[in-house]
Chain A
Amino acid sequence: MSNITDLSALELRDAIAGGEVSAVEATRAYLATIERTDPQVRAFNEVLAENALAQAQAVDAARTAGEKLGPLAGVPLAVKDNLATPYGKTTCSSKILAEFRAPYAATVVEKLHAAGAVILGKTNLDEFAMGSSTENSGFEATRNPWDLSRVPGGSSGGSAAAVAARQCAAALGSDTGGSIRQPAGFCGVVGFKPTYGRVSRYGLVAYGSSLDQIGPLTRDVPDAAMLTAAIAGHDPKDSTSLPADVPDYLSEVEHPIENLRVGLPREFYSDALDAEINAAIHAAAETYRNAGADIVEVSLPHSRIDRDEQGKLSSYAVACYYIVAMAEASSNLARYDGVHYGHRTDEAVDDIIQLYSRSRAEGFGPEVKRRIMLGTYTLSAGYYDAYYNKALKVRRLIKNDFDAAFQRCDVVLCPTAPTPAFAIGEKTGDPLTMYLADIYTISVNLAGLPALSLPAGLARDGLPVGMQLIGPALGESTILRAARMYETASGTTRLKPPMLSE
């Protein structure tokens, strides 16, 4: 048989269930890959080898005893380090939580356990999920396995890189403004953000509470279906969790959609878009057309992308997103104060205020500080209406646009990012430039809709280009099926970066 680590998560699951491979073998194979490649890729904050092997052993013992195995039994996964695990640390790649050990598990982690999955370790991210390149990590920057001088995207850069470098069968990330989809696009893997509320947020360290969602990063679409089914569902611990039943995404994913209507938002295809990416998306549209789909033009006026006088990309949606996300973040991160957990300054302090201010100054990186300060400012007296409340209204306009669009199409097709992966250090000089990397992904979070990024091929320099499919609320099945249609028609799937062939 081919290399264990070349199997998709689904194939590996079946192989383990069928006794062809043991869970321990699979786990060892992945741990070996991590050991070999992570010095370059740096996807992992913490590898939980002992824990993982124990989990794998338990699966093997269960199988030997003839017990029923869970749907992910023995599948080695990586989990973004802003998801609470009851073992190891949960650091959010921040110095302020560098030693934090959670006495509880995120609901999705408990679901993975219940499904029999093996957790290999915690992956790197932009600090507190704030960023689009993983360069904001308080520890180190993860590299893109396709080109180690480039970013893997962010904030789930560690998870995306780990999947691309075949350090795990699949991974979980989180997405607030594109943080699953954009790194998936940069790393040539599939990244899926479900409908807001589809997956419980309990145990996901909050960044933008009304925007955050957890989702899978995988090598192909069926794996995404399988992982989503395992983590989705109502959770009484999350008041924003949707009560709807979870369909059997995996059994549905191979059924193409007849008379699929694919919408192309006219506002996304201005000259602001990189020519190669534009071409890739239109090629994808052709693929859909050849598969029997209708391509229709739709309009998302409030997600319009312009260039301003200085040639900088400009978008209402980006402004709206950042106001909302930063406001919520400024409040969500107030708890990191050196009192109940986390970093406390060693310096002598005069009073509690100094304790807070110094601990936070030492523990947070510059991007986190900026966002907290901006969020605090926009919520403060006199500015609430002009910024925060205004943004909440624009948010509704953005959502209304999508509602209207979905009257005319089943899925929206658009780019994942305006460029392929950029070089490390290229965009760190100016925060705004980095924010504009999110230009195609953020509307989705504002509207609370599901969206998936999958590889549309390779661009110049052999870098992956991602395409994005957006669906209506609770349209996971539609998106997965539509994505699978493209995957099977184009054969673009399970891309392998050159470094793995060396």
Chain B
Amino acid sequence: MSKTIDLKLVRHIGKLSRIELTDLEAETFAHQLADILSYFDKLQELDTADVEPMAHAVELTNILAADEPHASLTPEQALANAPQRDGDFFKVPKVIGDSQ
């Protein structure tokens, strides 16, 4: 049972992923993603009704650190890899407000 992914969906996923796609890429990906997703559907054959999901491969809990400061980077170090900077700020095109 093969899945189809239409171009609209591919472009939507591209947008969510923040990756600009050329027309060729969109078409190629549409086929490839459909194939891979069909493959993923194989898991539906398994009955997992009473199975607990396993998000971690370790069974640790309560890993907490003391509230004591460490040495921070200098702005120079922090910004050394910045593609664009404005003084000691990272520089980006205009946005509105803060996200939080």
Contact = CB atoms under 8 A, between A and B. Distances in A.
Interface of A: 99-101, 103, 196-197, 210-211, 236, 239-240, 242-243, 302, 314, 316, 318-320, 322-323, 330, 334, 337-344, 349-358, 360-361, 364, 366, 369-370, 372-374, 376-378, 380, 386-387, 389-397, 399, 430-432, 435, 445-448
Contacts of A373: 10, 13-14, 17, 19, 29, 33
Nearest to A346: B83
A460 B46 CA distance: 38
Interface of B: 10, 13-21, 25, 29, 32-33, 35-37, 39-40, 42-46, 48, 51-58, 60, 63, 65, 73, 77-78, 80-84, 90, 92-95
A377 B84 CA distance: 31
A149 to B, nearest CB: 26
Given A340-B90, A373-B14, A396-B54, A357 B46 contact: no
B62 to A, nearest CB: 10
Given A99-B81, A351-B95, 7 more contacts: A197-B58, A236-B65, A318-B39, A339-B82, A353-B18, A361-B19, A364-B19
A184 B22 CA distance: 37
29 contacts: A103-B73, A103-B78, A210-B55, A210-B56, A210-B57, A239-B63, A240-B60, A319-B39, A319-B40, A323-B43, A339-B90, A340-B81, A340-B82, A342-B83, A352-B95, A357-B20, A364-B19, A373-B13, A374-B37, A376-B16, A391-B43, A394-B43, A394-B48, A395-B54, A396-B54, A399-B54, A430-B32, A430-B35, A432-B36
B16 to A, nearest CB: 5
A114 to B, nearest CB: 19
Contacts, number: 167
Nearest to B14: A373
Given A341-B82, A351-B93, A376-B13, A431 B52 contact: no
Contacts of A356: 18
Residue from the set A319, A355, A370 with the largest chain B CB neighbour count within 10 Å: A319
Contact of A361 (B21, B42, B80, B90): B21
Contact of B57 (A196, A339, A358, A432): A196
Given A302-B46, A394-B48, A360 B18 contact: yes
Contacts of B44: 386, 390
Q: From A318, A337, A369, A435, name the one whose CB has the most chain B CB atoms within 10 angstroms.
A: A369
Given A240-B60, A358-B20, A396-B51, A349 B90 contact: no
A338 B82 CA distance: 8
Contact of A390 (B20, B36, B48, B90): B48
B43 A361 contact: no
A344 B15 CA distance: 18
Nearest to B56: A210
A305 B29 CA distance: 27
Given A394-B43, A431-B32, A432-B39, A389 B53 contact: yes
B58 to A, nearest CB: 4
* Most interface-central of A320, A323, A390, A432 (chain B CB within 10 A): A390
Contact of B58 (A240, A314, A353): A240
Contacts of B20: 354, 357-358, 360-361
Nearest to B63: A239
